[in-house]
């Protein structure tokens, strides 16, 4: 009788341990997926941030006239001699429509476009939010309505960029989120 | 019985073997799980640390590059001719800044290019600033009027057009920043109907005859300190103007006989005629003053600072002529008369004994226009900031030099 009790007991304990190990493995697998997804999102944000940093610090470089010619919540068009060749370049940032990425399960993702001069729009990254906020020399926010006028656009001294990237597919029912935010004060404004 | 015992023994052995396998599975499984978690966690921590270090390094290298560029710009303002053509390195904020300072031409303007590379733990940031050269010219505070004198100007100005309102390099009128038309330490009578304009209290008065009284400053009390030498007019050590003139800098020249002047005039032209010299060969002059000299700049684009002075302040220029072009700059003389030329800048006469008897007519085709910009250009040869204003200060977010473009 004792023998059978020992045997059944050991089976129960062993079964519980096997279940625990199985659950742990599933957890590790999910964690690895999340980690990989998060790393991918971070990579996306880092790439976008690097490009934005490179361009935005150069706004107005070697431009004598109007420097920012369009400024809105999710788009900006400015002039800069971005390649330092003596000729003015136009750079335009804007976000596309969510319908362009309807193939992904994430309903909010859209492409962030960058157009240099008259070249075709380029986009390497999908974002779920791209928001620009504009400030004057006293660090007072300029409302988007005012920015329809070039006079007000000339007051822009600082731009805050907010970038949010989510994974295209949910990981364990939730979308992986990475955010990036920075205030840039281009020296040529 | 023995068989039963053997069976029990076998089962016991089998049980322990079974248990050992489980224990082994648990230990190895646990070890593998821990290893995976540990590697994963370490990888995340390492990535996070690397990101932090990278961001800090990038920010620090950017700080180094920008700060070094700002420091260089400030230094250039103090040492105008400072240039570094081969890259030099300086330690800053725990990293290094490699910099170069050269003159460059951008859109036709000569600018100073300050190129700095900030390096912090192999994070590199390049910054390039294009700044304007320091403006060292200034308007001497003695210039109260387009024509300033320590004596009577009634006869000297003749019937010219005299405008103390400010003008740019191209003769365009610049509002609110002008001076009087005439400023003298004695009484003034516009005896020959000159048209005079000027600025007082930031209000501009166009040229007219009779002139608006606000464009004349007469009986001005200089507190007995009206300068007696051209160097004192500019607030610089005695002998500086003569020394630069003798050096030939920017076409400067020093002569003791106006006939020896090389045209066109530029830089500092110092004409020193001593009392006992008689360089005048115009014996038929109806002014009957053989000791007086003439300066004829003919049809040249002359500019700069023209000084006619000797140590006793008795130089007498009876006529100064220039055709087709204005003289652009500052004329400082002891006694001068017969101004048959246009002057864009200002005139200062030091002598108290200016012309009171003779008259000069036929000057209706000439003008004296005050121009702060032209005076600044003329005095920039001195390579100093104004000694009178206390220099140019700067503060938060302001540069000591004008930055045209900044690339980072």
Q: How far is B48 from chain A (nearest CA, A)?
A: 10
Q: Alpha carbon of B114 to those of A81, B15, B64, B117, B398: distances in Å?
A: 17, 83, 14, 10, 17
- DSSP three-state, residue A170: coil
pLDDT at residue A90 tops 90: yes
- What pLDDT is stored for residue B393 in this prediction? 42
CB contact under 8 A, A21 and B15: no
CB contact under 8 A, B44 and A84: no
- What pLDDT is stored for residue B260 in this prediction? 93
Q: How far is B80 from chain A (nearest CA, A)?
A: 23
- Count CA within 13 A, CB hemisphere, residue A55: 21
- What pLDDT is stored for residue B286 in this prediction? 44
Cβ contacts (< 8 Å) between B124 and chain A: which residues? none
Residue A146 lies in a domain: yes
- What pLDDT is stored for residue B392 in this prediction? 43
Q: Which of B29, B58, B63 to mutate to test the interface with A (most CBs of A within 10 A)?
A: B29
Q: How far is B202 from chain A (nearest CA, A)?
A: 28
Whether B408 has its CB under 8 Å from any CB of chain A: the answer is: yes
What's the mean pLDDT in A75-85? 92
- What pLDDT is stored for residue A175 in this prediction? 86
Cβ contacts (< 8 Å) between A89 and chain B: which residues? none
Residue A189 lies in a domain: no
* Distance, CA of B406 to CA of A188 (rounded, Å): 6
- What pLDDT is stored for residue A103 in this prediction? 87
- DSSP three-state, residue B404: strand
Closest Cβ opposite residue B408 in set A6, A42, A187: A187
- Cis bond before residue B160 (omega within 30° of 0): no
Closest-approach residue (CA) in chain A for B28: A21
Residue scoring higher pLDDT (A90 or A123): A90
CB contact under 8 A, A187 and B36: no
**List of E strands, chain A:** 68-71, 75-80, 89-95, 110-116, 122-127, 129-135, 141-142, 158-166, 177-184
Give A82-116 as a DSSP string. Answer: TTSSSS-EEEEEEE--GGGGTTSS-SS-EEEEEEE
Sequence-distant (6+) residues with CB within 8 A of A175 are: A106, A166, A167, A169
CB contact under 8 A, A10 and B44: no
Is-contact B369 B352, C-beta < 8 A? no
Residue A53 lies in a domain: yes
Residue A135 lies in a domain: yes
Q: Which of A10, A24, A180 to mutate to test the interface with B (most CBs of B within 10 A)?
A: A24
- What pLDDT is stored for residue A121 in this prediction? 85
Strands B203-208 and B195-200 come out as antiparallel
Could you state, in chain order, the average pLDDT of each consecutive group of 10 residues for chain B (408 residues)?
71 73 76 78 82 89 93 82 90 94 82 94 92 80 94 92 92 91 94 94 93 94 86 90 90 93 94 67 46 86 94 92 94 94 96 88 88 91 55 49 84
Phi, psi of B265 (to 5 degrees): -80, 145
* Distance, CA of B359 to CA of B22 (rounded, Å): 127
Q: Alpha carbon of A99 to those of A33, A132, A178: distances in Å?
A: 27, 22, 22
Cβ contacts (< 8 Å) between A157 and chain B: which residues? none
Give B242-272 as a DSSP string. Answer: HHHHHHTGGG-EEESSGGG--SS--SEEEE-
Cβ neighbours of B82 (radius 10 Å): 12
Residue scoring higher pLDDT (B110 or A90): A90
- What pLDDT is stored for residue B275 in this prediction? 66
Q: How far is B408 from chain A (nearest CA, A)?
A: 6
Cβ neighbours of B118 (radius 10 Å): 28
Q: Which of residues 110-129 of B touch A (CB under 8 A)?
A: 128
pLDDT at residue A105 tops 70: yes
* Greatest CA separation for chain B: 165
- What pLDDT is stored for residue B8 in this prediction? 73
Cβ contacts (< 8 Å) between A181 and chain B: which residues? none
Cβ neighbours of A106 (radius 10 Å): 17
pTM above 0.80, yes or no: no
Whether B38 has its CB under 8 Å from any CB of chain A: the answer is: no
- DSSP three-state, residue B73: helix
- The total domain count for chain A is 1
Nearest to A127 by CA among A137, A139, A115, A114: A114
Confidence band, pLDDT 50/70/90 cuts, at residue A169: confident
Is-contact B166 B200, C-beta < 8 A? no
Cβ contacts (< 8 Å) between B51 and chain A: which residues? 42
Residue A91 lies in a domain: yes
The tokens 């019985």 sit on which residue?
A: B1
- What pLDDT is stored for residue A124 in this prediction? 65
Whether B405 has its CB under 8 Å from any CB of chain A: the answer is: yes
CB contact under 8 A, A187 and B44: no
Residue A84 lies in a domain: yes
Phi, psi of B67 (to 5 degrees): -65, -40
CB contact under 8 A, A187 and B406: yes
- What pLDDT is stored for residue B386 in this prediction? 46
CB contact under 8 A, A61 and B407: yes
Sign of CA dihedral B35, B37, B43, B46: negative
Domain residue limits at A161: 3-184
Whether B15 has its CB under 8 Å from any CB of chain A: the answer is: yes
Whether B33 has its CB under 8 Å from any CB of chain A: the answer is: yes
- What pLDDT is stored for residue B290 in this prediction? 55
Q: How far is A188 from chain B (nearest CA, A)?
A: 6
Interface of A with B (CB under 8 A): 3, 6-7, 10, 13-14, 17, 21, 24-25, 28, 31-32, 35, 39, 42, 57-58, 61-62, 84, 187-188
Cβ contacts (< 8 Å) between B30 and chain A: which residues? 21
Q: Say how far residue A82 (Cα) sits from the centre of its chain.
A: 22
ipTM for the assembly: 0.71
* Distance, CA of A120 to CA of A113 (rounded, Å): 10
Report how many helices (DSSP H) and strands (DSSP E) chain B contains, helices first: 4, 23
Cβ contacts (< 8 Å) between B8 and chain A: which residues? 3
Residue A87 lies in a domain: yes
Whether B391 has its CB under 8 Å from any CB of chain A: the answer is: no
Q: How many residues does chain B have?
A: 408
* Distance, CA of B265 to CA of B251 (rounded, Å): 7
CB contact under 8 A, A25 and B37: no
CB contact under 8 A, A25 and B33: yes
């Amino acid at each position: 009788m004792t023998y059978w009790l020992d045997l059944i007991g050991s089976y129960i304990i062993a079964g519980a341990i096997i279940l625990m190990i199985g659950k742990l493995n599933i957890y590790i697998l999910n964690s690895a997926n999340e980690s990989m997804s998060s790393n991918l999102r971070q990579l996306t944000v880092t790439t976008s941030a690097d490009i934005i940093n490179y361009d935005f610090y150069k706004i107005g470089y070697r431009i004598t006239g109007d420097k920012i010619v369009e400024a809105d919540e999710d788009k900006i068009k400015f002039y800069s001699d971005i390649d330092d060749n003596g000729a003015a370049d136009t750079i335009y940032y804007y976000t596309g429509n969510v319908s362009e990425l309807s193939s992904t399960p994430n309903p909010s993702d859209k492409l962030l476009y960058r157009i240099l001069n008259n070249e075709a729009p380029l986009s390497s990254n999908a974002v779920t939010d791209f928001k620009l906020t504009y400030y004057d020399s006293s660090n007072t926010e300029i409302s988007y309505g005012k920015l329809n006028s070039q006079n007000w656009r000339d007051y822009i001294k600082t731009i805050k960029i907010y970038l949010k990237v989510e994974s295209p597919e949910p990981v364990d029912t939730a979308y992986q989120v990475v955010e990036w935010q920075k205030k840039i004060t281009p020296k040529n404004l | 019985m023995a068989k039963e015992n053997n069976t029990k023994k076998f089962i016991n052995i089998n049980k322990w073997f079974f248990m050992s396998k489980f224990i082994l599975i648990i230990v190895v499984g646990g070890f593998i799980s821990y290893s995976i978690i540990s590697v994963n966690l370490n990888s995340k921590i390492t990535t996070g640390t690397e990101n932090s270090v990278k961001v800090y390094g990038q920010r620090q290298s950017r700080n180094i590059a920008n700060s070094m560029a700002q420091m260089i710009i400030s230094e250039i303002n103090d040492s105008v001719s400072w240039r570094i053509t081969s890259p030099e390195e300086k330690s800053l904020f725990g990293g290094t800044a490699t910099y170069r300072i050269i003159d460059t031409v951008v859109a036709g303007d000569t600018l100073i290019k300050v190129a700095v590379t900030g390096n912090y733990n192999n994070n590199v940031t390049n910054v390039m600033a294009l700044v304007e050269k320091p403006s060292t010219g200034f308007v001497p505070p003695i210039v109260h009027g387009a024509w300033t004198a320590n004596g009577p100007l009634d006869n000297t100005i003749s019937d010219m057009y005299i405008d103390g309102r400010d003008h740019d390099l191209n003769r365009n009128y610049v509002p609110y920043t002008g001076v009087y038309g005439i400023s003298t330490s004695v009484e003034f009578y516009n005896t020959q109907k000159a048209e005079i304009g000027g600025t007082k209290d930031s209000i501009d008065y166009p040229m007219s005859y009779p002139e608006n009284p606000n464009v004349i400053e007469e009986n001005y009390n200089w507190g007995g300190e009206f300068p007696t030498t051209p160097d004192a007019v500019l607030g610089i050590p005695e002998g500086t103007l003569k020394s630069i003139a003798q050096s030939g800098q920017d076409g400067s020249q020093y002569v003791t006989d106006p006939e020896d002047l090389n045209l066109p005039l530029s830089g500092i032209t110092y004409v020193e005629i001593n009392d006992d010299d008689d360089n005048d060969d115009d014996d038929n002059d109806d002014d009957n003053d053989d000791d007086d000299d003439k300066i004829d700049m003919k049809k040249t684009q002359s500019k700069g600072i023209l000084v006619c002075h000797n140590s006793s302040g008795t130089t007498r220029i009876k006529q100064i002529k220039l055709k087709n072009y204005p003289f652009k700059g500052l004329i400082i003389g002891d006694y001068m008369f017969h101004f048959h030329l246009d002057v864009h800048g200002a005139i200062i006469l030091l002598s108290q004994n200016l012309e009171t008897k003779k008259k000069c007519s036929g000057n209706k085709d000439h003008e004296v226009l005050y121009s702060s910009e032209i005076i600044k250009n003329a005095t920039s040869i001195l390579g100093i900031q104004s000694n009178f204003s206390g220099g140019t200060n700067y503060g938060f977010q302001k540069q000591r030099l004008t930055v045209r473009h900044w690339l980072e």
